[in-house]
Amino acid sequence: MTTENELSDHDRNSKEMAESILKGDSTQAAEAARQFMNQEGDVNDLLDTISDTMNIVTDLHEVEKYSGKQVESCEDAAEKALDMIRPNLRVEQTRISGKVMVTSMKGDPHSFDKTLLLAMLKIGGFTPLDGGAGRSPQQVLAQVEALKPDILAVAIVTPAAAQNLTAAKSLVNAARSKAQIVAFGKGTGGISERAGLHAVEEDSLSALSRIAELLIVKPGLSSFSQKES
């Protein structure tokens, strides 16, 4: 069993960041992320840690261990850690044709996955559109009709949100929108392959790659890496 003393500096800072997010400590979460990046750690590893930690927050909320207020504090801490990572992310600086609207559905306790994907899209040369958080199916349809995205990316955390996405998809299809729908996140496991979505991905990074494919982007344009010094 690995002890605290045997952890690498990268692992230690990653662990401290995760613990700080779980405590809702924005200052410490940002500091741990900053130290990780200063030691030239793999930025994708840190992104995975933030996403995995927010999934734990969701699980704790579902079993009523965390209140809604605690979830909000954790989400704020995760976003502060993400702010520390942003300057160290890059992709090929090619402008990618097509608009991507990112939203989350009513029924989810937090919208961090949405925030994370919006950041990745912006850095990646896409045209991201913030469709809002905690949306009802009718609100999603209104946003799609107003913004006319090529891709509608929906972060899903809970089964309730997945059900609302199904209703939203029916409304969007009935309106004959050309938007291709991509669902992503922890709550997509229960979504049937026959749900009529264009893609179902387990996390933000996978969703980014699939969005690039749907917009007919050359391979590699959506591959994140740390900035060269």
77-128 tens-digit pLDDT:
999 999 998 877 665 556 678 999 999 999 998 889 999 999 888 877 889 9
Closest CA to 107 of 177, 202, 190: 190
**Radius of gyration from C-alpha coordinates of the chain:** 18
pLDDT at 220: 41
27-31, 133-137, 152-156, 211-215: the lowest-pLDDT one: 211-215
pLDDT at 11: 87
User: Would the pTM of this model clear 0.85, i.e. be above it?
Assistant: no
**Average pLDDT score over the chain:** 86
Question: Residues 222, 223, 224, 227: is their CA dihedral positive or negative?
Answer: negative
Domains of the chain as residue ranges with CATH:
7-90 (1.10.1240.10), 99-225 (3.40.50.280)
Residue type, 138: Q
pLDDT at 122: 83
* Cβ burial 76-99 (10 Å sphere, 16+ → b, else e): bbbbbbbebbeebbebeeeebebb
Helix (H) or strand (E) holding 199: strand 199-201
Q: Is the model's pLDDT at 221 over the cut of 70?
A: no
Q: Is the model's pLDDT at 170 over the cut of 70?
A: yes
Helix (H) or strand (E) holding 226: strand 225-226
Average pLDDT on 24-31 reads 97
Confidence of residue 45 (pLDDT cuts 50, 70, 90): confident
Q: Token pair 């994140």 is at which residue?
A: 224
CA distance 121 to 73: 25
